[in-house]
Structure 1
Amino acid sequence: IPGGDATGQDTTAVRPHAVAAVLRNITFTQERYDSFIELQEKLHQNVCRKRTLVAIGTHDLDTISGPFTYTAKPPGDIRFKPLNQAKEYTAQELMSLYKTDSHLRHYLHIIEDEPLYPVIYDSNGIVLSLPPIINGDHSKISLNTKNVFIECTATDLTKAKIVLDMMVTMFCEYCEEPFTKETLSADFINRKVGISESTEQIAQLLTKMCLRSEVMSDGEQIEVEIPPTRSDVIHACDIMEDAAMAYGFNNIPRTTPRTYTVASQLPLNKLSELLRQDLAAAGFTEALTFALCSQEDIADKLLKNISETRACHISNPKTAEFQVARTTLLSGLLKTVAANRKMPLPLRLFEISDVVLKDETKDVGARNNRRLCAVYYNKSPGFEVIHGLMDRVMQLLEVKPGQGNGYHIQAADDSTFFPGRCAEIFARGKSIGRLGVLHPDVINRFELTMPCSALDIDIEPFL
């Protein structure tokens, strides 16, 4: 179904996705028909989240003609006779009509404030439905319907496919050509789970899990029927997992692995833990801050340009506080200081955690970088305290002062730090970070009032 046409508008802003299917040569009885309608209502309430994620429309295919067009139009431009009504209404009039309807009034809020309403037309301009509110009366299904057209409009494409699959699979059995079944072997389940059950016993285990199963004529293969409610079953391993649950995980015999391995901590994590203990011993308190933050936190508040930060942006942030992955630990520590301004001075905080930086050489376009950051907040800047902490860290890392394989600092310009009070740190010939007194504008932007010194270094080169 196209997402727009020459006369309508793109549906992206209101309800972006649509999927459809056809059930051919179906035979309805009153019981099957009632079940078909009830299934839609059940799905609307649970998987569809009261039609906000997905709305289902079912139509008699023989009363309409394709191709069908999914578009969006102003409510005053949409006119049709809705289900079980005697005359035509505009979509705007329908909103007023259904305000008092005990069933439909609960769904009006989904689109009523939108400038454009989603609508589905057939090739003759007949309205099939005004999702997610009501179907058209022209294409309503009855006991005599032989071919059913099912359309699902949605804000979530995955949920739309799941709902459509459920609708089709649950009623495909009433078509002339019903659905097919899948097979797998008992040996596959025995090997993967670590048991040795007969084919018949495994078929019983799967049936117990509501996966109706029968042993095939060869005695090895098992025919398994997957109900439409199990949209999670996409591979034989999913069936194997159900067999393991039915058998009981606690009943699976314990075995010794055939390979001998000794677990050990990652060197980077080991180094981080050792440094944490010694920084705490030096009188600094550890903080753990969020890995996501706002663009302001890592750019504007630190007097930086966001384009220079190499930050990874979240494509659909839910709040302004979680727009990007942090590129520095400093902003998180300063926010922690701001939240603890009532605590006695001085405040000494540190954090050893990962930041995320863009890196085109990596398959995901980014990499983690383990950093150490510490701040000292008091009535005086305390640069000597932060400098002493850096010397202690280098002593712990067994890096001696000096050029070459040692460490040294030299004056540097950085907009985050006070002019003339910033130094770049070099160790073993590489720049590993900076220390200095923070710029007064940075202090003010984090709603602080006292001077603050900071140390920010990369600890990965010391592995």
Structure 2
Amino acid sequence: MPTITIDWEDLLKLVGGRIGQNRIVNSMELLGLETEIDGNEVKVEVPHNRPDMLSVEGIARILKGILGKETGLPKYKVRESDVVVYIDKSTKDVRPMIAAGVALDVKLNEKAILSIMQLQEKLHESLGRKRRKASIGVYDLDTVKPPIHYTTTDPEGLRFVPLGFSEEMSPAEILEKHPKGIEYGHLLKGLPRYPVLIDSAGRVLSMPPIVNSEDTKVTKKTRRIFVDVTGLDWKTVHGALIIMLAALAERGYSIANVKIKNGRRTWTTPDFRPGQIRVHTKNVCETIGIDLKTSEIVEILRKMRYEIYRSGGVLEVFYPSYRLDIMHEIDVIEDVAIGYGYDKLEPVVPSVLTKGEEAQIEKISHWARLVMIGLGFTEVMTYTLSSKEKVCGKMCVEEELVEIGNPVSSEYSVIRSSLIPSLLEVLAENKHYPTPQKIFEIGNVAVLDPTYETRAKTVRRLAGAITGSEATFANIRAAAEAVMRELSFKWEIRETEHPSFISGRVVEILSDEKKRGITGEISPAVLEKFGLENPVAVFEIELGSI
């Protein structure tokens, strides 16, 4: 889990008043926040699904609710500003999304600056997926002359002084010499033009997602802050902006909007309008296992910073825009349990006469995992949800997939039918590390099957991949056969052709005359689509059929 460092005195000031340490620590533990206190310094482990608590401001906001100091939905009054951001069409194929906002009446001290910078970096690592999906820029607005232009430049184009340096550099030089350029340069590698933000005077604000300029950095003298978020996914980009501005608002700063203009389209950000979801009181009681009155549920939810309107046994629940984790009724019910107190729930022995044991497929998976580790492979875990482009388009295949109804993002619109695309994506994310690399994953895939009631079945599979000089057909076949031998899997090999693999270097694995897997060398066309520069060999077998 992400770990942040906060200042105890700063937390108390934001919560308001002198509160006993044990009371605050117990409340934080209730929220799933693990704390380690050393004098005035507090290290806090934050759950992955709560990026809004990756700062002392976010933690103080929810603590004020639990402690009864400030309940209900946080209110954000957004003022009008004269800041406009113009989007150039050249950013469409580079980093198309941008959202921005302004904080006014700012009074910064060292603690506040450190907190803002820490939140920025923690959001980069978690929500922003190491700056790939979203990256954040924070600037002293008084050093900027609006309007601001979001455009692109040649690698040897606009020169500016990057943050922490004293000499001007070209974008290409920044990627080679600046620590952030070296760390995140792979996100721009191969692009003909790089994204930049510049003001009307031609001053460079930043080169996202790499680095800000030294000239616009925030200091203790800053009185107005400009925040921008650029990226690939709108929900992530706008969500990161909301979290940043909500944290600034928690310190008493005023928030103002920014007009975004893209050709003929104009919109403003941030949008602090709350989300809305229906919660049935019956489901709350049945899920948690206790009888709560509607008034008690409402009181708990208000402490958890919700607003509620009642209609019989159904609650219309409004949740803050920074709660990106709220997707289903069960997420709100979980907050009711947290607000009520897990420590108050009495454990009950289930009234069933069955004996539990590890499922056979889990035993097989465990043994397969040990075998792969013994072969020198490193385990990875990826998402079950994927996209048609990754599963089919990049793999050069056409296939019907199990699709998600009303997906939140096109990146997670289908259930994967193979583990191989996920492994290739992991290798692509790590291609700047030395080779050879050997990784594997054990996970579920969904395969269409009309004989099932749902017309789809879940299959447990094992997939392995090698990249670098060892990525040969002989090596990957040897690894696949070693696994099947250790699992007492009776198999036979048959030559085949597959659009994802090099012709003549791919075979399918059969058991009882049915196809149970495939192994071979990935074709150059697929490697190119994933941005991989080294050869890759893979195998995939069904564990559920063993």
What range describes the TM-score normalised by the shorter chain of this pair?
Answer: 0.3 to 0.5
Larger radius of gyration: 1
TM-score using structure 2 length: 0.40
Q: Normalising by structure 1, what TM-score?
A: 0.47
